Structure 1
Amino acid sequence: MTRIANTPEPPYYAVIFTSLRTAEDNGYGLMAERMTELAAQQPGFLGMESAREALGVTVSYWDSLEAIQRWKQQVEHREAQRLGRSEWYAAYRVRVARVERDYGFGE
């Protein structure tokens, strides 16, 4: 089911991961599912949103920069990062931002 992440009142942090995929799957789908499950178990995780067309965009939300750093260093996540560089991505960019305002409509 597609949902908008239910984040708390700001401030909090967003990690914005944009990517261009290679042509081969090579286990990408399974690893993406595992990373979603694993991220949700990490202390400080607040939610995630993802969309993939020609350009993939995944935004994960965190309560602190320390939580983001712990996630970056998590063992299984480090392996996914390695495989991303060697197998799955032609290019990617990671941006970390502090969310100051959050408003919307619906849900």
Structure 2
Amino acid sequence: MSRIVKTPQPPYYAVIFASQRTEGDNGYGKMADKMVELAAKQPGFLGLESARNHELGITVSYWRSLDAIKSWKENSAHQVAQERGKTEWYENFALRVCKVERQHFFEM
């Protein structure tokens, strides 16, 4: 994503996904695009920010509630992507769920 997401007033939740990829694309880019499109249609989805260099990727998705996060985790297409991530695309990853209680934005 190329912009900072404008989220509503807290509280809401952030899911932080940090990962190190395996070599090659192996369909990763196409699936990642599909997951962003699908997540955006999920009830409670507030937005997403993502950055990756050659060593580390970090994606932060924002959600209205823990139930919305649970529904996304249980989405059947997302489960397929999760399994492929474990078997094909990631050397390792970490997933953290946080409650956002305060926020500040700056724009020029």
Q: TM-score, normalised by structure 1?
A: 0.97
Corresponding position: 1:34 with 2:34: yes
What's the offset of the Cα at 1:82?
Answer: 0.2
Q: Quote the residue 2:71 is aligned against.
A: 70
Provide the C-alpha distance between the structure 2 equivalents of 1:90 and 1:84, rounded to a whole number of angstroms.
Answer: 9
Q: Quote the residue 1:48 is aligned against.
A: 48
Provide the C-alpha distance between the structure 1 equivalents of 2:45 and 2:90, rounded to a whole number of angstroms.
Answer: 24
What is the 5 A alignment of 1:1-107?
Answer: 2-53=2-53, 54-106=55-107
Provide the C-alpha distance between the structure 2 equivalents of 1:102 and 1:39, rounded to a whole number of angstroms.
Answer: 22
Q: Report SS of the residue matched to 1:8.
A: coil
Provide the C-alpha distance between the structure 2 equivalents of 1:24 and 1:78, rounded to a whole number of angstroms.
Answer: 21
Q: Which amino acid aligns with 1:58?
A: T
What's the offset of the Cα at 1:5?
Answer: 0.7
Provide the C-alpha distance between the structure 1 equivalents of 2:24 and 2:86, rounded to a whole number of angstroms.
Answer: 13
What's the offset of the Cα at 1:57?
Answer: 0.1
What's the offset of the Cα at 1:2?
Answer: 0.9
Provide the C-alpha distance between the structure 1 equivalents of 2:107 and 2:25, rounded to a whole number of angstroms.
Answer: 35
What's the offset of the Cα at 1:104?
Answer: 1.7
Q: TM-score, normalised by structure 2?
A: 0.97
Provide the C-alpha distance between the structure 1 equivalents of 2:35 and 2:107, rounded to a whole number of angstroms.
Answer: 28
Provide the C-alpha distance between the structure 1 equivalents of 2:107 and 2:84, rounded to a whole number of angstroms.
Answer: 37
What's the offset of the Cα at 1:61?
Answer: 0.2
Q: Report SS of the residue matched to 1:72.
A: helix
